[in-house]
A and B are shown apart, each in its own frame.
Chain A
Amino acid sequence: MTMPGIAMDDFVIRAFLGGLGLAAVAGPLGSFIVWRRMAFFGDALAHSALLGVALALLLHLSLVFGVVAICAALALVLTSLQPRVRLAGDTVLGIFSHSALAFGLVALSFLDTVRIDLMGFLFGDILAVTAVDLLWIYGGGALVLATLVALWRPLLAVTVHEELAQVEGLPVERLRLTFVLLLAVVIAAAMKIVGALLITSLLIVPAAAARSFARTPEQMAVLAAALGGLAVASGLWLSVQFDTPSGPSIVVIAAILFAVSVVWRRRVS
C-alpha cells in the first residue's frame, strides 16, 4: 500500500522531514502571531526575504544568512518606527510589505549572470530541499523552539497586555525584539518549503484552525504544530501524486483544515 516508486526516493523523504520540522516550529510561533495580531507584520517580513536572497547572491553569502539578516533588519526598523509614525499600523506594513517585494524582484533582475529559480523563491520548492537545508531547518527550528519554551510565560504576559507586563517587571522591549528575531529565523527556514509569498499562511492557518479545539495556549500551540504537520504531509502527497506545485498544495490542505475546524466548532456550540 505504499506509493509505488516515489515513497522511497531520497528527495521525498527530505521534503517530508523538512516540512514536518518547519511545521513543528511554525505551530507555536504562528499561535503567537495570531494572538498578537501580527499576521500582516509577518507578511511584510516574509516579502522582504526576497531582498535578502538578492543581497546574498550579490555578496556571495549563504542565502539563509541573507534572508535572516534582511528580515531581522526590517523587523528592527519596523518595531522602532511603528510607535513613532502616526500612520495606521496596516498602512505602514502595507508600504513595507510590497516595497520589499518590489525591491527584491528588481534586485534579482540585475543578477542575470546567476540562474535563479524565481518561482521557487516565491512559492517554495519543497522537493528540492537539500541535506544542508534540513540542517538549517532543524538547527534554526531547535533554537527557536528552545527560546519559545524558555520565554513562554513572559511572552504570553506581554501578548495579553504590554503595560501590565511592564509594571510587573518584564523587559517588554527586549521580549518583543526577541520575538521578531525568532520570526526572522523561521521565515528563512520556511523560504524553501512554501516560498516568500506563502510563509505567513503556514504560520497562521494551522494556528487559526487549532483555536477551535484548544482551551489553553499550550494546547493551541501543540495542535497548530500537529495540524501544520498534517497539512505538510498531505500537501506533499498531493503534490507528488498529481504533480501540483508543492507550496500551494500544502497551503490548500491547511485552508481546508481550517474550514473543517470552523464547521466543527459551529456544530459543537
Chain B
Amino acid sequence: MSVADTAMISGRGLSKSFDGRAILDGVDLAVTEGEIVTVIGPNGAGKSMLLRILLGLVKPDRGTVMRRPDLRIGYMPQKLVVDPTLPLPVRRFLELGAPANPATITAALDEVGVRHVIDSPIQAVSGGEFQRVLLARALLRNPDLLVLDEPVQGVDVGGQEELFRLIRLIRDSHGCGVLMVSHDLHLVMAATDTVVCLNRHVCCTGRPEIVQGDPAYLALFGATAASAIAVYAHHHDHEHDEAGRVKPAHDHGQAGHDHAHHRHDHAGHRHG
C-alpha cells in the first residue's frame, strides 16, 4: 500500500460493466510523481474506460479513485473532431483549455514542435500535428499529471517513436507524471517506466523488461508479444550500435510494426 500512499492518483478495485458485460473487473492502478505508466491491452480490454473512471468522467460500479487534492490534470482525449462548421484557429483552440497569453501559447507550441500551425484552422492540421497540438493544450494547464489516451493514433511509425520520445522529454523537463493508454506494444515499451497489461483485469504489471517475460503477458499477446520483443530489441541494436544508419533501422521497424500490428488485431479478436 506504500505505492498508493505516494501516488498522485490511484484506483483500487475498479469494476464497471455495461448490460451485464464486465468491462473492468477489480482493477488496481497508481501513478506516482514523475512516473510514466502505460496501460496496454487488446481492443475492448477496457483501457479507455479505466482512464475515464480515473478522470472522474465515469462512475465505477465498484472500487474507489483517490486523487491528490488540487491535482492539475492535462488530458488528451482519444477522439477529438472539431466540427468543420466551427472556424477555429489553433491559437484559439489552445486558449479554450486555460486562459493563456500569446507568449505562453507560442512557447507551448514550440515545445511540442508545431509552432508553424498556430494560425492554421484546427481542421487543417495533419494527424501528427494535431496530436502535438492536443499535447500543447494539456501542457498549457501546467499539469502535475498528463493523461493521454492513445497519444500516437493517426501518426506514422516514425512519428510515433518521436512522439513517445517527446512525451518522455516533457516528463523530464516538467517533472509531471504520465498515464497513457496504448494498443501499440513495442514502441511504447521504450517510453515507459511501468507497464500495466490490461484485459478487463490487470494481467501483469511492472517494468517493461519484466512484463515482457511474464507468462500472462505472453498468453495475452501470444505471437505478437514475441515479435514485439524481436522488433524492440532490433530497434535498440540499430539505434545504439549503428547510429549513423538511422534510415535502415526505420525501415526495419516499420515492416516489423505492420506485421506485429496485424497479428495484434487477431489477438484482440480472440480475447474480445
Contact = CB atoms under 8 A, between A and B. Distances in A.
B87 A219 contact: yes
Main secondary structure of the interface of B (DSSP, over half): loop
A65 B98 CA distance: 38
Interface stretch (B77-85, B159-167, B191-199): B77-85
A160 B95 contact: no
A53 B20 CA distance: 45
A167 B86 contact: no
B85 A160 contact: no
Contact of A216 (B85, B87, B147): B87
B87 A157 contact: no
A230 to B, nearest CB: 20
B73 interface: yes
Contacts of B83: 35-37, 159
B92 interface: yes
B89 A216 contact: yes
Contacts of A164: 75, 77, 80, 97
Interface stretch (A9-17, A207-215, A243-251): A207-215
Contacts of A208: 85
Q: Is the interface of A mostly helix, strand, loop or mixed?
A: helix
Interface in A129-188: 153, 156-157, 159-161, 163-168
B88 A216 contact: yes
Nearest to A208: B85
A220 interface: yes
A163 B92 CA distance: 18
A220 B85 CA distance: 10
A35 B82 CA distance: 9
Contacts of A35: 83, 85-86
B87 A220 contact: yes
A211 B93 contact: no
A217 B97 CA distance: 16
B96 A160 contact: yes
Interface residues of A, number: 24
Given A164-B80, A166-B57, A216-B92, A159 B86 contact: yes
Contacts of A157: 96-97
Contacts of B82: 160
Interface in B180-195: none
A163 B77 contact: yes
Contacts of B85: 34-35, 208, 211
B77 A217 contact: no
A217 B96 contact: no
Contacts of A214: 87
Contact of A161 (B80, B89, B92, B95): B80
Contact of A211 (B57, B87, B141): B87
Given A215-B89, A220-B87, A156 B96 contact: yes
Nearest to B149: A163
A85 to B, nearest CB: 14
Interface in B25-83: 52, 55-57, 73, 75, 77, 80, 82-83
Interface of A: 34-37, 153, 156-157, 159-161, 163-168, 208, 211, 214-217, 219-220
Interface of B: 52, 55-57, 73, 75, 77, 80, 82-83, 85-89, 92-93, 95-99, 121, 141, 147
The 4 A-B pairs at the shortest CB distance, nearest first, are namely A167-B75, A157-B96, A35-B86, A214-B87
12 contacts: A35-B85, A153-B95, A153-B96, A156-B96, A157-B96, A160-B80, A166-B56, A166-B57, A208-B85, A215-B89, A217-B88, A217-B92
